[in-house]
Chain A
Amino acid sequence: KQEVTQIPAALSVPEGENLVLNCSFTDSAIYNLQWFRQDPGKGLTSLLLIQSSQREQTSGRLNASLDKSSGRSTLYIAASQPGDSATYLCASESNRDDKIIFGKGTRLHILP
């Protein structure tokens, strides 16, 4: 059974710093890995989708990498801003049962 783990559970950094959020998964039989952002009480906003054949995806200040062999993905945020404060969730979509499994998320707080 797929398990997705996100470390750290919470992170506070000063504005302007670059940071890395980590996601690990136990089963490499995945279609893709997707990073989401969630603001308190709101829905999930898709940030980046990395298909299993890809190594990384970039969007603006965000860069996500995928290493299937080691079961790891990272989300790199450059030049962090207070508006980046949110919970970040990673989710892997299994090619065994077409389900996505979420990590528990990293609560990010950018200090002004």
Chain B
Amino acid sequence: DTEVTQTPKHLVMGMTNKKSLKCEQHMGHRAMYWYKQKAKKPPELMFVYSYEKLSINESVPSRFSPECPNSSLLNLHLHALQPEDSALYLCASSHDNNYGYTFGSGTRLTVV
């Protein structure tokens, strides 16, 4: 298995809803990442987990809450989002510094 799987592919949520994005990889990668991408912009780093511990938080608002239950799974819990949070959310994983990144196909999030 050489893929990063993200679910759901599309999500529409209200500003008072609570939802979660899921990411899974079975490549034995030690690091997992969440990125946010707005239209026609490059991906922006949100969080990095290394060996299941949060190692980087790029000053992301607390309405985004990451969780890494085990080495294969990464979640992003969403609560009280704003319409400007609508974007493509990408998960990625990497084995080590010299092996590059593998990205998932993303979750298209719309906040109404």
Contact = CB atoms under 8 A, between A and B. Distances in A.
A100 B101 contact: yes
A42 interface: yes
Given A104-B41, A104-B42, A32 B90 contact: no
Contacts of B45: 99-100
Interface string A69-112: 00000000000000000000101010100111011110000000
Contact of A46 (B41, B103, B106): B103
A98 B98 CA distance: 10
B43 interface: yes
A19 interface: no
Interface in B64-100: 88, 90, 92, 97-100
B97 A43 contact: no
Interface residues of B, number: 21
A111 to B, nearest CB: 21
Contacts, number: 51
A46 B97 contact: no
Contact of B99 (A42, A49, A89, A103): A49
A64 to B, nearest CB: 12
Contact of A99 (B41, B56, B104, B108): B56
What band does the interface of chain A fall in when counting residues whose beta carbon is under 8 Å from B? 20 to 34
B105 A42 contact: yes
A16 to B, nearest CB: 27
Contact of A34 (B6, B48, B100, B104): B100
Given A89-B42, A99-B56, A46 B102 contact: yes
Contacts of A44: 43, 90, 92, 103
Contact of B106 (A31, A42, A93): A42
B42 A93 contact: no
A44 B102 CA distance: 8
B101 A46 contact: yes
A43 B90 contact: yes
Interface of A: 31-32, 34, 36, 41-46, 49, 51-52, 89, 91, 93, 95, 98-100, 102-105
